[in-house]
Amino acid sequence: MTTTTSKYETIIGLEVHVEMNTNSKIFCGCSTEFGAPPNSNVCPICLGHPGVLPVLNREALNLAMKAALALNCSITRDSKFDRKNYFYPDSPDAYQISQFDKPIGANGFIEIEVNGETKRIRINRVHLEEDAGKSSHATDGSATLVDLNRAGVPLIEIVSEADIRTPEEAKAYLEKLKAIMQYCEISDCKMEEGSLRCDANISLRPWGQEQFGTKRELKNMNSFSNVQKALEYEQSEQERLLESGEEIVQATMRWNDDTKKTVVMRSKEDAHDYRYFPEPDLVQLDIDEVWINDIRATIPELPAERKNRYISEFGLPSYDADVLTASKRVADFFEEAVASGAEAKQVSNWIMGDFLAYLNQHNLEIPEAKVKPAQLAAMIKMITDGKISSKIAKDVFKDMLESGNDPDKIVEEKGLVQISDEGEIAKVVEEVIVANPKSVEDFRAGKEKAIGALVGQVMKATKGKANPGLVNKLILERLQ
């Protein structure tokens, strides 16, 4: 990281939009389903027909409150809605119903871990608003096409304080935020489907200076890694400008994923005047303590608590606990496997290793995986019972991932049961020793490593099925 050697301190703040997974839109009864044919999930209300009025979806409000509480925010009892006015074809009313001065949640925080240290990133506000539609351009360039399926899907915007100091911290913040949203079942947070979007503000200032430097806003990053990359690029770019004595001009920058650079999208002069004013078609909210407590009660154990529990209850290393709890689905999978009788650290090893690697490689989510937690547990039990070797287990697990079959069935069908019969193994050991005089000589000459070659030959001859411990023991006995 350049920051440690740089003359400048980097200041980052993030604005994250999260689409909430309610069944219906925030102000009408239309479905929020993703991927429906264009303009099929629409009605006069979300099409902005003349005379329609919004009615707040209670479920959207509850989820927003849940998100705010999970992010340690206080709830604004007299929260209200405001109109943000701007013309754009994907905004049917030509205003967005949002929240201006009374966001549903305020003054929260998220704790992140970077380089083994815990850091608190404060959250300025969480507010509820409606999403806009989507514009795309006809392939022949003749027209702009507007799909209003997304118009009116409930969003929360989560605005951090400028507490983030490195691009790496920014990524850690996003990962933690995503985990919390998923744990609370507020959103699936798929950046590629647009259910989580992130804009970043970044500025530099000389170390020790209190006043912030001029910031730039970065847009159009479509993954957490790209957020980090864009911030890294912008960080070095701003440093270069400052070093060369040039002035940084406040602007909105667009990340170009092809060139891996940021380019000016619009300058401050082009900034909108949104003419916010209270939405007269909706009434001010009146949220009481009982309501807040009811929502608070629906918040599950969050990643940080769960991580601590994995360390204390299962004795997992901090690193394992961190990886497993980063996703609720992974953590749930882990706990189910452990509940099925497998040893925690072994389950952790298999999940963090072969399992997640396979899912990543095939771009699968946990629910799509063919292996179920009980099957993983059963396989681990076969290892501890000595029925299969760890090595064989790797092949068995691969088969399980592809076929979804039970491990005992695979082992039986493929004849992979571990050979633990001493007589049978001794026979093979004898053959190997006779066939490899050089290795035997090396071993006797004090090259202890030579035994590895002999074990390898035995395993090869038994197609990996020999119990490695027994093989080792028998070779040693035979040679001493």
Partner 1 sequence: MSLLNSSIRDLHTKITSKEIKPSELVSASLERIAATDEKVKAFLLVTGEEALERAKQLDDVPADAGLLYGIPGALKDNLNVKGQPTTCASKILTGYVSAYDATAVSKLNETGAISVGKTNMDEFAMGSSGENSAFFPTRNPWDPDRVPGGSSSGSAATVAAGQVLFSLGSDTGGSIRQPAAYCGVVGLKPTYGLVSRFGLIAYASSLDQIGPFTQTVEDNAIVLQAIAGHDRYDSTSANVDIPNYLNALTGDIKGLRIGLPQEYFGEGLDAGVREQINKAIRVLESLGATVGEVSLPHSEYAVATYYLIAPAEASSNLARFDGVRYGLRVEGESLIDMYKNTRAEGFGEEVKRRIMLGTYALSSGYYDDYYLRAQKVRTLIRQDFDNAFEQYDVILSPTAPTTAFKFGGKTEDPITMYLNDIYTIPVNLAGIPAISVPCGFADGLPVGLQFIGKAFDESTLLRVAHAFEQANGVFARASL
* Residue showing tokens 């000595």: 386
**Cβ atoms of residues 16 and 157 within 8 Å:** yes
**Of 281 and 412, which has the nearer Cβ to partner 1?**
281
* Residue showing tokens 């072994």: 346
Q: From residue 125 to residue 164, what is the string marking binding to partner 1 with x (rule CB under 8 A)?
A: -------------------x-x------------------
Cβ partners under 8 Å of residue 251, min gap 6: 216, 217, 264, 265, 266, 267, 268
Q: What is the spatial distance between Cα 462 and Cα 448, in angstroms, rounded to a whole number? A: 23
Counting residues that bind partner 1 (by CB under 8 A) gives: 29
Q: What is the spatial distance between Cα 28 and Cα 96, in angstroms, rounded to a whole number? A: 14
CA trace torsion 451, 457, 460, 464 (10° rounding): -30
* Interface residue with partner 1, options 12, 69, 70, 83 (CB under 8 A): 83
Q: 186 vs 68, 178, 179, 180, CA distance in Å?
A: 11, 10, 10, 9
* Interface residue with partner 1, options 282, 287, 374, 476 (CB under 8 A): 282
Distance in Å, CB of 322 to partner 1, minimum: 45
Distance in Å, CB of 89 to partner 1, minimum: 5
**Of 53 and 264, which has the nearer Cβ to partner 1?**
53
Distance in Å, CB of 120 to partner 1, minimum: 33
**Of 66 and 83, which has the nearer Cβ to partner 1?**
83
For the beta sheet containing 117-130, the strands, ordered from the edge strand earlier in sequence to the opposite edge, are: 74-75, 105-114, 117-130, 154-160, 8-19, 196-206, 216-219, 251-256, 261-267
* Interface residue with partner 1, options 13, 92, 303, 464 (CB under 8 A): 92
* Residue showing tokens 């009980």: 374
Asked whether position 51 contacts partner 1 by CB under 8 A, the answer is yes
Asked whether position 167 contacts partner 1 by CB under 8 A, the answer is no
Distance in Å, CB of 96 to partner 1, minimum: 11
* Interface residue with partner 1, options 47, 241, 292, 479 (CB under 8 A): 47
**Cβ atoms of residues 369 and 337 within 8 Å:** no
**Of 275 and 460, which has the nearer Cβ to partner 1?**
275
**Of 97 and 428, which has the nearer Cβ to partner 1?**
97
Asked whether position 319 contacts partner 1 by CB under 8 A, the answer is no
Q: What is the spatial distance between Cα 415 and Cα 437, in angstroms, rounded to a whole number? A: 31
Residues of this chain that bind partner 1 (CB under 8 A): 44, 47-56, 83, 85, 87, 89, 92-95, 144, 146, 273, 275-277, 280-283
